Amino acid sequence: MSSAAVTPAARLRGLEPDWLNNPKVWRTEVLAGLVVALALIPEAISFSIIAGVDPAVGLFASFTMAVVISIVGGRRAMISAATGANALVIAPLNHEYGLGYLIAAVILAGVIQVVLGALGVAKLMRFVPRSVMVGFVNALAILIFMAQVPEMHHVPWAVYPLIIGGLALMVFFPKVTKVIPAPLVSIAILTVITVAAGIAVPTVGDKGALPSSLPVPGLPDVPFTLDTLTTIAPYAFAMALVGLMESLMTAKLVDDITDTHSSKTRESIGQGVANIVTGFFGGMGGCAMIGQTMINVKVSGARTRVSTFLAGGFLMVLCIAFGPVVSDIPMAALVAVMVMVSFATFDWHSIAPKTLKRMPAGEIAVMVITVTAVVATHNLAIGVVVGTITAMVIFAKRVAHLAHVTAVTDPDGSTVVYRVTGELFFASSNDLVGQFDYAGDPTRVVVDLSAAHIWDASSVAALDAIETKYKQRGKSVQITGLNDPSADLHGKLTGELAGSH
């Protein structure tokens, strides 16, 4: 297949010209999928415990999410599985009503995601500023690191040299060869050492029992009534929003890392489809997993859907066929991998003194607020919303000060021309009314808006208020210089906003 023959749609599906026939790409994708699968197992079990369900429910969710999203998702090489954010959202539902209601909520959340995706919710991502994105990435790195801290508390002393050894292997092994991912080598070597030497340290098996068979499709065990729907709807809606937010932010991050484009609308709908399938297979649902995605894309170098598909496939193979071996993997090995991921994910350039000196104070504030909100709530979605709102407020405040009014009186004293410069919207137009000399101006007043733009009803109301104040004093006002969009808005609303100022 020639490069010229590949359509944009084909590229989006992951069918790049020559990777299918490239053994190096296949090796990278297969090994990346294996590393991700190993890293998914303890996390899926941990999230199952948070949600209050059997470990198999989290592992089945990670399997079906990864496999389905690899086919229907819009972002190549991104990993979707059971996540902590979703587990926190639906845990209260499971504790109060049981697993059947949780599964029903997962299916409904998937339906909501499909609807939101079809309605174009992904387009809202354009309103997330760069400073929020940087804060999101840094907060993510901090959360990944913080999640490993409990694994280093009240553990045998041997855990610490194993973690240090694992980190050393991942730093220095790539200098020898990059054919095999360093995390995979680290996990294998540390497992052999602990098993051969009989070192007693926490293992993957200590997290919970691994499933011994594949999931079977079925309907959730709930009464199909309106009461059930009203019970699960709030949880489903929250899960849908959190899942989409994390998935779209992760997709944007992978776009930047790989310098490639992805379809956010397709990803939104794909997440919904994956959750629907996961629910029918008895899984706890999920969304994009940022830590595992970083292992796949940044650490292992994967770039296609193959790694995502195999991550899910290997997960089940490892659990069912190699359960005893996987159970012996020391948690220290996986902690080392995730610590390495957190350091690789953090944007160290963003906190360099040189960068901080040049960056506007508002941008730094938005980044810090985003990080603080995420770390405080352990919810990436909340942090992104808080950071974005903060950025919008700072932007509105900054732009509001760009509106200026200058007055020039004709030599004969019969006319004064007020020249308004800048963007007129609710934040700037509120100050506009007070910048005119209603009592001292001559009988004819011209307001020149050729260097301004009217954005909203607040600005039209302010102009109406100015005209009213002059008319009360027997003076005429002429508004000139409106560009076409401003003239249209002013024409529609002027005189119709009485009582709004």
Residue 423 or 498, more confident: 423
Q: What is the pLDDT of residues 96-111, one digit of tens each?
A: 999 999 999 999 999 9
**Is residue 146 within 8 Å of 374, Cβ to Cβ?**
no
pLDDT at position 63 over 80: yes
User: Average of pLDDT values for 311-324?
Assistant: 94
- Token pair for 185: 């080598």
Residue 405 has what pLDDT? Answer: 92
What is the SS3 assignment for 1?
Answer: coil
Asked if residue 20 has pLDDT above 70, the reply is no
pLDDT range class, residue 333, cuts 50, 70, 90: very high
Q: Are strands 476-480 and 444-454 parallel, antiparallel or unpaired?
A: parallel
Sequence-ordered alpha helix ranges (H) in 119-263: 130-148, 159-176, 182-197, 226-258
Residue 296 CA to residue 35 CA, distance in Å, equals 8
Phi, psi of 183 (to 5 degrees): -60, -40
Q: Given a cut of 60, is residue 1 above it in pLDDT?
A: no
With a pLDDT cut of 70, the percent of the chain lying above it is 95
Length of the chain (residues): 501
* Higher per-residue pLDDT: 61 or 6: 61
Q: How far apart are CA 161 and CA 48, in angstroms?
A: 29
Based on its alpha-carbon atoms, the radius of gyration of the chain, rounded to whole angstroms, reads: 29
State the average pLDDT over residues 6-31: 66
211/496: higher pLDDT: 211
> Residue 98 carries which DSSP code?
-
Residue 286 and residue 276: Cα distance in Å, rounded? 10
Q: Would you place residue 341 in the very low, low, confident or very high pLDDT band (cuts 50, 70, 90)?
A: confident
Give the pLDDT of residue 342. 86
What is the 8-class DSSP label of residue 74? S
Please work out, in degrees rounded to the nearest 5, the angle formed at the alpha carbon of residue 313 by the alpha carbons of 311 and 317: 115
Torsion angles phi and psi, residue 409, rounded to 5: -100, 135
pLDDT of residue 89: 86
Residue 120: is its pLDDT beyond 80? yes
Mean pLDDT score across all residues of the chain: 89
Terminal alpha carbon distance of the chain:
65
Least confident of 15-19, 177-181, 342-346: 15-19
CB atoms within 10 A of CB 450: 12
Q: What is the pLDDT of residues 220-277, one digit of tens each?
A: 999 999 999 999 999 999 899 889 988 998 999 999 999 999 999 999 999 999 999 9
pLDDT at 14 over 80: no
**Given this model, what pLDDT does residue 128 score?**
85
* Interatomic CA distance for residues 413 and 416, integer angstroms: 8
Which pLDDT score is estimated for 4? 46
Distance CA 314, CA 297 (A): 17
pLDDT of residue 238: 87
Q: Give the residues across from 407 on adjacent strands.
A: 418
- Under 8 Å CB-to-CB from 438, ≥6 apart: which residues? 469, 470, 473, 475
Report CA-CA distances (Å) from 282 to 8, 288, 347. 36, 19, 38
Count each helix (H run) and each strand (E run) in the chain, helices first.
Answer: 20, 6
Question: pLDDT tens, 4-13?
Answer: 444 544 444 4
Q: Is 459 exposed, middle or buried (0-12, 13-18, 19+ CB in 10 A)?
A: buried
